[in-house]
Structure 1
Amino acid sequence: MEIKKQFYKNSVSGKHFYNFIDERDDTTRMGYLFGENKIFYFNFPQEATTYLNSKYNDSENKFENDTILIGIQRLWISQEKISSSLTKSILLSPVSTIGSCRVICNIYKKINSAYFLLHKYDSTITKKGYLGNTNDELMGKSLFTLMKVTDSISSLNISLSDLGEKLNFNRVKVLPKIITDEKMNEGFYLTYADFLNNTPVFIPFEFKESKKGQYLKLFENKNDDSIYTTKSWGFCKNGFAYVRLENDFSQLRRYQNTFDLFITEPVNVKYNKLAKSFWAGFSIANTLSGPFPELAVLDIPVKRVYNTILWTGVYKMDTGTGEIY
């Protein structure tokens, strides 16, 4: 994706030199678009920090003694499906798409030769519409807002005592054992900590997936099987980890220092049958070859009707917090 000119040209005052660094657990992608049974991932034309540094600094912006450093912790675009309005249900589709862009950054201010935490930034911007058409605008507006906030905060006369911790460029991020161990141990994760520490409780069990659903059964009876089968955080089987999502499990797929998961979830669709009844009434009107008859309108049910449509989305797990987004 490209950031359009209107979203970076006037987003900073030119009083500061900006430097972006990448602190994400997965630097390979910035979100996804799911459509036509395929998954398309988003990226900038260049490596993320190189691209952002080129957009938010120009050749004349050399205020390197007044540097603002932005540590990107999350830069992620995703989509969600919801029920359409009555009008859209009748004219187009009972399901609408909303795109979201989540930006989380640590903003540091340079004092002499060191950097100190100035602000923890966390914001989400959403926009209705097909994500394939709105991703550039979503990302552009999200970064525009980030840079306006950053420029405003960094311009304040803030003393060293008001700043946060000093940035240590030599720090090494401590990764959980589920990332650093050579293999995932088999068994049940009773808690999220068990997953991070790669310390499942080993109990022989069977797990199968099919079109009819999932099947999980212990090979031996326990005093309370539900601790493992319906109340555990997840499990690992044949080298693959799964996380519980209500009554089902979704496989976790490793990407760098994070995990992806595919989720099939229901969308409560309002007005679906109402829309079908509307078009049935419209068909009657055409058959009668005249103005839309009152009879056709009166035949339309007036109460809301809820149906369930299943759809699949791609999500990520933040190993630092356990959040699925």
Structure 2
Amino acid sequence: MKTVSCLLLLGFFATVTHAQHKISLTTSDNKAPSGMDISGIQVINAVSDSSLLGYVQTGMLNRWGEAVADKPLTIFLQSYVDEQYKSIYKKDAPQLLWVIQELHINERTFSMSEKGFVRLKANAFAGNETFKWITQIDTVLVMSGLDVTHKHGDHIAEALQLLLQASLASKQPDSPAYPVSEIKEKAMQRYRKPALEEKTHEDGIYMTFEAFINDTPSFINVAYDSNTKHFYYKDSTGKRIYVDKFWGLRREGMAFKQYEGKLIPIEQKQNAIVLTDYLPNARRKNNVILGSMIGGGLIGGAIAGAASGGTLPTVDLPYIKKKAPLATGVDIETGEFTL
């Protein structure tokens, strides 16, 4: 019976469903930060992928699933801001305009705890009919606990509170003022990159992210040498030139980013570059931990064996020294792994 139980449990891990988990924002009695008076906050949704917020783990066995806002993203943010901060608004004062560029959450399970992460990247403007840029925030917040899944709403609210603090603390610079339409147009310019356009992309090796995002391969007609386990191209004399380290690769319609000598499959989703196999690979990693928690032996060994086929990079952040978040995508401006 023990063997049957182990097989059933392994089968459960293998067939776990990808249920969606809805994230809500609820108002709190956070004290409004001091600073300039404002008459309101307008939110512009300019995120690279508005279809989901990230990934969470739920239940006793940490079932993986997608996390989505409980309303369309623009309404999700604007309705919360209106309700949360209406008490600090003052008539005839300037307004704040927030351009949300990235908003992502993620989780990571460790042997005795969980970590929850939220990334917020946004630009803040102030004015009325026209607006001046006043500040930018780009940060990843971390929380710890035994069940971080149900706290992501509070965590997002905390990130928005930081944006408000930064906005109110900023002095309006002597910079040009723009109408909202022009600010929206400029916010979308970051997505007008050749690599994000819907077209056929040329196969080849891209030595840098700049080459990848501009769709200009460094080398074309690339082949793979299975003996040396290296990619190569031929120069004008026909000599093989082996390429060891590079940013990425396109081959037969698929795209990859190099990471520690491995190729991580990536793809476009809306205006984002995401890890193609994030969810199943994250589940495999989590199953290794669950196996060790259950007791190792047959279960742990079998799960560990199944997990060996997937590799997930972490996000390199100088202010998170240990237990960094797993990457779910590639930053479209820097080419680095991100939530």
What band does the TM-score fall into relative to the shorter chain? 0.5 to 0.7
Aligned with 2:69: secondary structure? coil
The structural deviation recorded for 1:186 is 0.9
User: Which of residues 11, 35, 40 is equivalent to 1:17?
Assistant: 40
Distance 1:246 1:142 in 2: 32
Distance 1:191 1:119 in 2: 29
The structural deviation recorded for 1:257 is 1.2
The structural deviation recorded for 1:29 is 2.1
User: Which of residues 4, 24, 28 is equivalent to 1:2?
Assistant: 24
**Alignment match, 1:137:** 154
Distance 2:108 2:176 in 1: 37
What are the superposed Cα offsets for residues 163-197 of structure 1, whole Å, 9 maximum, x if unpaired?
44534533351521111251121121122122112
Distance 1:207 1:222 in 2: 14
- The 5 A counterparts of 1:48-59 are 48-58=73-83
Cα distance change on mapping 1:15 and 1:116 into 2, 3 Å: closer
Distance 1:78 1:52 in 2: 18
- The 5 A counterparts of 1:133-212 are 133-150=150-167, 152-153=168-169, 158=171, 162-167=173-178, 169-170=181-182, 171-172=185-186, 173=189, 175-180=192-197, 182-200=199-217, 201-206=219-224
Aligned with 1:43: secondary structure? strand
Which structure has greater strand proportion?
1
The 8 Å contact of residues 49 and 271 in structure 2, kept in 1 or not, is answered as yes
What are the superposed Cα offsets for residues 56-97 of structure 1, whole Å, 9 maximum, x if unpaired?
225885747521101111111122344x4xxx4xxxxxxx32
**Alignment match, 1:284:** none
**Alignment match, 1:240:** 254
Distance 1:245 1:233 in 2: 8
What are the superposed Cα offsets for residues 264-291 of structure 1, whole Å, 9 maximum, x if unpaired?
5989x99x99x979xxxxxxxxxxxxxx
* Count of paired positions: 266
Aligned with 1:42: secondary structure? strand
Distance 1:222 1:243 in 2: 26
State whether structure 2 residue 326 is matched by structure 1 residue 324.
Answer: no
State whether structure 2 residue 74 is matched by structure 1 residue 46.
Answer: no
Matched letter for residue 143 of structure 2: K
What TM-score results when the alignment is normalised by the length of structure 1? 0.67
Cα distance change on mapping 1:238 and 1:79 into 2, 3 Å: same
**Alignment match, 2:124:** 107
The structural deviation recorded for 1:12 is 6.8
Distance 1:73 1:103 in 2: 8
Matched letter for residue 103 of structure 1: L
Aligned with 2:49: secondary structure? coil
Aligned with 1:56: secondary structure? helix
Cα distance change on mapping 1:255 and 1:39 into 2, 3 Å: farther
Distance 1:207 1:102 in 2: 40
Cα distance change on mapping 1:3 and 1:12 into 2, 3 Å: farther
The structural deviation recorded for 1:250 is 0.9
The structural deviation recorded for 1:23 is 2.2
Distance 1:23 1:242 in 2: 26
Aligned with 1:126: secondary structure? strand
State whether structure 2 residue 106 is matched by structure 1 residue 78.
Answer: yes
The 8 Å contact of residues 25 and 256 in structure 1, kept in 2 or not, is answered as yes
What TM-score results when the alignment is normalised by the length of structure 2? 0.65
Unaligned stretches of 5+ in structure 1? 89-95, 209-214, 278-306
Unaligned stretches of 5+ in structure 2? 1-22, 297-303, 313-325
State whether structure 2 residue 148 is matched by structure 1 residue 117.
Answer: no
Worse-superposed segment, 113-122 or 314-323? 314-323
- The 5 A counterparts of 1:275-314 are none
The structural deviation recorded for 1:240 is 0.9
